[in-house]
Chains A and B, each alone.
Chain A
Amino acid sequence: MPDAVSLDVVIKIVESIFQTMMEVEVSVSELALVPTGDRITAAVYLDGDWNGAVSIECSHPQACSFAGSFLGMDAPESVDDDVQDALGELANMIGGNIKSVIGTDIRLSMPSVIDGNDYTVRVCGGCIENKIAFQFAGGTFWVVIIGKEKLRIRELPHAELQEQVM
């Protein structure tokens, strides 16, 4: 499992992305329920100093809501290419920002999207999984980190980094 500091940084990254790009307030939730029914997962894979996957998992209506907020338009009525692309970009931002604070030699994959109601996401050799539940007005969604090794924060998170180097 990530240590408390790592987990706190991941939570801040997710909160910042939702607030900055969508003006959506999200906060960590103690809810331990596993999502059921139709759901959609977008994931990116990291390879190098740290190996694993970072994904965001939510219901179809939540994904549509995120896409609408992201694009500044009404939420699509059902999951389409735009919704999948928006969720993939969310995974890319979350994974990319985590990547930037955990190592200097890590490659980030293109995002992939899985849609359905009976699937699991596994990383070959991945054994450390951390599921973080977030709540917002539309319910609870999950950010999942699966890795071969423990997450270790090595750099400042994005916002502070940006202020310091530019």
Chain B
Amino acid sequence: MNKALVVDDSKTIRMILRRMLKEVGFEVCEAANGKEALAVMDGEQDVVTLVLADWNMPEMNGLELLKRLRQRSELSSLKVVMVTTEAETGHMNSAMEAGANEYVMKPFTKDILLEKLSRIGVLPMACA
């Protein structure tokens, strides 16, 4: 089963993303900031195939998390999607340059999310 890690300091957003991802067949784990996410990845890096990360979080923000993940050669196939209100072109460029695979702006619908996941080839076969 595909496993996704949802990283957001808002429990509300984590719950929404968990529900959307579970509906299309993902197993989901959660973290409330970048540091927690790295700890989760230390334990589950073999099974997590997708990270959805907010940008603006305490402790460690999403861009820093993205950069840390991209420094790990063993995670080269990991897909990372930024899910954020940071909609300025400069922010998007920074994320893509740092190795983000996609960028989803809040607010978003399930259809928008699935379209982005489909583009980067991480949707389970039945949903693609």
Binding site for B on A (CB under 8 A): 16-17, 20-21, 67, 70-72, 81-82, 85-86, 88-89, 92-93, 95-97, 99-100, 104, 108, 110, 155, 158, 161-162, 165-166
Q: How far is the CA of A20 from the CA of B108 in the complex (A)?
A: 6
Q: Which residues of A contact B58 (CB under 8 A)?
A: 110
Given the contacts A71-B12, A82-B11, A108-B85, A16 and B107 also touching, CB distance less than 8 Å: yes
A to B contact number (C-beta, < 8 Å): 76
Main secondary structure of the interface of A (DSSP, over half): helix
Measured CB to CB, the nearest residue on chain A to B108 is: A20
> Interface extent on B, as a size class?
20 to 34
Interface centre among A17, A81, A100 (most CB of B within 10 A): A100
Q: How far is the CA of A67 from the CA of B13 in the complex (A)?
A: 11
Interface centre among A67, A82, A93, A161 (most CB of B within 10 A): A93
The answer to whether A20 touches B10, judged by C-beta atoms less than 8 angstroms apart, is no
The answer to whether A108 touches B56, judged by C-beta atoms less than 8 angstroms apart, is yes
B71-107 toward A: CB 8 Å interface, digit per residue (1/0)?
Answer: 0000000000000111111101000000000010111
A sample of 12 cross-chain residue pairs with beta-carbon separation below 8 angstroms, ordered by A number, consists of A17-B107, A20-B107, A82-B11, A82-B12, A85-B11, A96-B85, A97-B106, A100-B85, A104-B88, A155-B89, A158-B107, A161-B89
Q: Which residues of B contact A89 (CB under 8 A)?
A: 10, 12-13
Interface centre among A16, A89, A108, A158 (most CB of B within 10 A): A89
Q: How far is the CA of A92 from the CA of B84 in the complex (A)?
A: 10
Q: How far is the CA of A100 from the CA of B89 in the complex (A)?
A: 9
